[in-house]
Structure 1
Amino acid sequence: MRVAHEVGPLELADYQRAVRLLLRHPLITAAYPDRSALPLVRRWATQLRADLFETLGYRLLTTGDTARLLRVQDELDATRPALTRTDRPFDRRRYAYLMLTLAALGRAGTQIALGELADAVAADATRIDGLGMDTERKPDRDAFVDAVAWLERRGALALADGSAVDWVNNPDRAEALYDIDREIVGAIYRPSRVLQHMRSVTALLEGDSSLAQGRETTRRTAARKARRLVLEQPVVYFADVAESLRGQLRSPALAEDLERLTGLGVERRAEGVAIIDISGRLSDVRFPGGGTVAQAALLLAARIAVYCGPNNRVSRPALLPVPTAAERLAEAAARIDSALPYRTVLEELAGDVPASGAEQIEPATYPFLPDAWLRRAMKELVGQYGAAFGAQWRADPDRLLGQAVALLAGLRLVATVEGGVLALPLLARYRGVTAEVKSRTQPTLFEDA
């Protein structure tokens, strides 16, 4: 297989930019993420459709005003949440309001008032145990408008008159009117399974059907999954996947295909494979990056790497097993499944929960850093580099530690376990990192982090 086989050398960078746009933004509209994105994707739509399906198993659907990439899910991933108007991750209430808002818009005409939309969502929300929505409560109005703003940014709604902010602050005296783009509304929600046909969230994931496939089909399926894992995860550790995938991950063809597809380098080491994207052209999180949390995380990573490195002969950390991918999936699925509305499942249409058929993987062991060690290290870092940190972080090093560890865990540099973290192999990349401290002369430096 040759990726982008009909793309000339002079146009390859332009094609790769279209690939990265789609992978980073599975829904592209005339205005989202910017006005140049849709024309670029439409120009390369035929080649994109062929390459993304052949290499990854993804399907690209294009219309006059949208391009929608339908991904295949291999894992439950919570690292790329929807964001509010203030760039905070959606909570469960906001996700629920977003789904109910989409449902209400599907029943609406070409325009709708914000108050009317809120009443429709509230009527549906009150029928859901534990949810509800009271437009008299400002927290509920804030959560609802965050869902509306998420749709507005993607072009599903366009403000025709009024102000949503004014409505949030005083719904009795303010209103907002929105135009509805039904094509975009329909493109946003494209589930692979209907909720009423599912007994478990794992039904949304790509199952292991190798027993029903021939040898060539099995090989192609494994190759697609290996490419997806490398693209969708910060790093894929060989110890974390079944033996059937390790050969695909080590294959030179995988690196060649992904490098030609994305324009980014693929790094293979003894422990695993990762796409290197220092420029942030594909990744949704840049690391190293700006802001207090990212800088503190980098300094903490460097300190952990030194402590776990070969030159530390004073106090070697204990080695503990890291949860395998199957164990992480089982834990996450159990939490989600406990909240599924089983009363609405149509038993005659619900398929069985797919058996994973996964090979048993012996868990790898990695250096363990207890919470006490992490707290001590962060306090030392704040004392040493605090001149470059925001006052709010200097006053609360435990909160800074929590944010920094969450960032490192999301990048698969550490794994959080009870009582501390495990240092994963990619962390060694940051051994020896140095920092230049610049004293804060502006009270707003890093405050937005």
Structure 2
Amino acid sequence: MRVAQNVSALDLDEYQQAARQVLRHPLITASYPDRTTLPLVRKWASQLRVDLAETLGYTLVSNGDTVRLRRVQDTLDATHPAHTRARKHFDRRRYAYLVLALSVLGRAGTQIALSELADAVAAEAGRVDGLGMDTERKPDRDAFVDAVAWLETRGALRMADGSAVDWVNDPEHAEALYDIDREITGAVYAPTRVLQHLNSVTDLLGDAASAGPAQGINAERRRTGRRARRLALEQPVVYYADVDEGLRGQLRSPALAEDLERLTGLPLERRAEGVALINTGGRLTDITFPGTGTVAQAALLLCARIAGYLTFSLHRVEKLPAATATERLADASARIDAALPARSGVTALLADAADAAATDSAVQPSAAAPPGDALPSGDVVAEATKAAGREATYPFLSDSWLRAELTKLIEEFGSGMSERQIADPAGLLDDALNLLSNVGFVARTDGGALILPLLARYRGVTAQLKETIK
């Protein structure tokens, strides 16, 4: 079935705008992300519901003044954090307060005072080892109000009277009163699986609907196609060397490009190393690159230095394999699972049953996937190939080389950068490399970074930074 099958050529642009809004904002309300988005999405909800389910395996739920997209996650992704009032990433304490606030609001009436919500969250937080919340401490009040503000931005809470800022600064003499929108609070957190029965964070991944008995080769092909589309849509770049042969074939399929381009209005670019959905105008991303600010500027200039260096020195640079997607997932899930509480009796029984089933299936014969085809590379930093029997390797640059180049960039362009950030070159380098890692340009490793093919897109970049007024 063709994506947007019942959408005319004249309406296609508006339909794609609605699709991008749903994909970028999985929760849409009358006020979030703005007042024009909900009417637009509701107009196309029926077609979007069909296309998102068939193309990506996603479920679109529309109730009253709330639209909720339930995604299928195939990997752990730390690049979509919640933000504080000061646009900083939520830390673990703020996430915990947010979840506890939702729990309290689920048992509340139609209104709640900020101090009442704070006391209830503090009582719940006190039962969690290592968390706690003391309303006498301003840092705890700040963290709590950041969680409340996140809910308020989405319309789950609406200020009826008072001021949250005044309460943070003087809780003895200030107060705030909120109206509770129960429809939105219910839509914010609606897990598709019973969390008490999970043995690992990886149990949240994958399509639960496809976890049943095998349904034939055509059903498996559809599931693989949906996963390939999700990867191309959700990841800045998908390298062929990082996926198995089945996904590689789907990523190369002309149908995948046609489906995603017709759904989002964005072109899919193919290179020898992989595919990337080109996000022109920043219409479908929460990380814009190139971007503004010292970190983004330093990262872009560092890209140009790296690409220029590898143009003439690639033959002298050591090449190393990067961790595979499976290895990265195993490492991240192990760190997260280490914090899980002791399993309940029911969970232990379910885990034992799952382990037994896995053992039984492990002894069954299976067809081995054929080795990957050779992938010739045309980019200067792209000697990463996945030929039969040969592991993909990438140029390795050490932390010392990267620090030296960043120091030169600060000397040349520092007058246009933030004084606070250039005063900490190590921190600036760490932030720049994290940004480049998030957009698929580098893979961080012990002692340095592996340079991935997409970085070559920004070779030859030049910059002129405006001098800041000191």
In the superposition, the TM-score normalised over structure 1's length comes to 0.94
The more displaced of 165-174 and 72-81 is: 165-174
SS for the counterpart of 1:5 is coil
1:346 partner SS: helix
Query: SS of 2:276's equivalent?
Result: strand
Deviation (angstroms), 1:363? 4.7
Structure 1 position 343, deviation (Å)? 4.1
* Secondary structure of the corresponding residue to residue 112 of structure 1: strand
* Cα displacement (A) at 1:308: 2.2
Q: Which residue of 1 is the match for residue 299 of structure 2? A: 297
- For 2:438, the equivalent position in structure 1 comes to 410
Alignment of 1:309-324 (within 5 A): 309=311, 311-312=312-313, 316-324=316-324
Map Cα deviations across residues 197-239 of structure 1 (whole Å, 9 max, x no partner). 1111111001685972310000000000000000000000000
Distance 1:60 1:77 in 2: 21
Q: Does 1:61 align with 2:89?
A: no
How far apart, CA to CA, are the structure 2 residues paired with 1:278 and 1:345? 51
CA distance in 1, matches of 2:121, 2:262: 45
1:278 deviates by 3.0
2:275 paired residue number: 273
| Equivalent residues of 1:278, 1:286 under 8 A apart | no
Mapped to 2, the partners of 1:6 and 1:212 lie a distance apart of 32
Counterpart amino acid of residue 3 in structure 2: V
Q: Tell me the equivalent position of 2:247.
A: 245
Is the CA contact 1:300–1:378 (under 8 Å) kept in the aligned structure 2? yes
**2:152 pairs with 1:152:** yes
Check the 8 A contact 1:18/1:40 in 2, yes or no.
yes
Specify the alignment match of 1:78 in structure 2. Answer: 78
Matches within 5 A, 1:102-117: 102-117=102-117
Where does residue 288 of structure 2 map in the other structure? Answer: 286
User: Among 358, 365, 380, which residue is 2:408 paired with?
Assistant: 380
CA RMSD of aligned residues (A): 2.0
Q: Output one character per residue of 1:138-171: Cα deviation in whole Å (capped at 9) or x when no partner.
A: 1111111111000000000001111111111111
Read off the aligned partner of 1:297 and give its amino acid letter: A
- Taking the aligned partners of 1:426 and 1:17, their CA distance within structure 2 comes to 27
Structure 1, residues 30-78: CA drift from partner, whole Å, max 9, x if none? Answer: 0000000000000001000000000000000001110000000100001
Distance in structure 1 (CA, Å) of the matches to 2:189 and 2:64: 18
Contact 1:66 1:184 (8 Å CA) reproduced = yes
Counterpart in the other structure of 2:428: 400
CA distance in 2, matches of 1:38, 1:189: 19
- 3-state SS of 2:174 partner: coil
1:298-350 CA-to-partner distances (Å, cap 9, x unmatched) read 000111112223x336x721111100000000000001111112245732566
Corresponding residue SS for 1:17: helix
2:303 match: secondary structure: helix
Give the structure 2 partner of residue 12 of structure 1: 12
**CA-to-aligned-CA distance 1:259-296 (integer Å, 9 cap, x gap):** 00000010000000001013100011111111111111
**What count of residue pairs does the alignment treat as equivalent?**
440
Name 1:370's counterpart in structure 2.
Answer: 398
Verify the 8 A CA contact 1:367 1:423 in the aligned structure 2.
yes
Alignment of 1:9-408 (within 5 A): 9-206=9-206, 209=211, 212-309=214-311, 311-312=312-313, 316-344=316-344, 346-347=346-347, 348=349, 352=354, 363-408=391-436
Give the letter for the 2:70 counterpart.
Answer: L
Contact 2:266–2:280 under 8 Å retained in 1:
no
Kept in 2, the 8 Å contact 1:56–1:228? The answer is yes
Q: Tell me which moved more, 374-383 or 388-397.
A: 388-397
Q: Which runs of 5+ in 1 are unaligned?
A: 444-449
What secondary structure sits across from 1:187 in the alignment? helix
TM-score scaled by length of structure 2: 0.90
For residues 353-405 of structure 1, what are the alpha-carbon distances to aligned partners after superposition, in whole Å with 9 as ceiling and x for unaligned?
Answer: 79699979975210111100010000001111112112222322222111111
- Residue 191 of structure 1, CA deviation: 1.1
Q: Distance in 2 between matches of 1:343 and 1:86?
A: 37
Distance 1:47 1:185 in 2: 26
Instruction: Using the TM superposition, name which of 354-363 and 268-277 deviates more.
Output: 354-363
Deviates further, 246-255 or 358-367: 358-367
Q: What amino acid does structure 2 have at the position aligned with 1:299?
A: L
Q: Distance in 1 between matches of 2:345 and 2:263?
A: 40
Partner of 2:458: 430
- 1:3 maps to 3
What amino acid sits opposite 1:379 in the alignment?
A: T
Report the residue type matching 2:467 in the other structure: S
CA distance, structure 2, for counterparts of residue 433 and residue 118 of structure 1: 50
Which shows bigger deviation, 254-263 or 390-399? 390-399
Q: Point out where structure 2 has 5 or more consecutive residues left out of the alignment.
A: 363-367, 373-389
**Kept after mapping to 1: 8 A contact 2:122/2:133:** yes
Question: Could you tell which deviates more after superposition, 392-401 or 109-118?
Answer: 392-401
Instruction: Please tell me whether the aligned partners of residues 199 and 345 of structure 1 are also in contact (alpha carbons under 8 angstroms).
Output: no
Tell me which moved more, 356-365 or 101-110: 356-365
CA offsets 1:154-189 (integer angstroms, 9 cap, x no match): 000001111111111111111110000000000000
Query: Which amino acid is the alignment partner of residue 238 of structure 1?
Result: Y
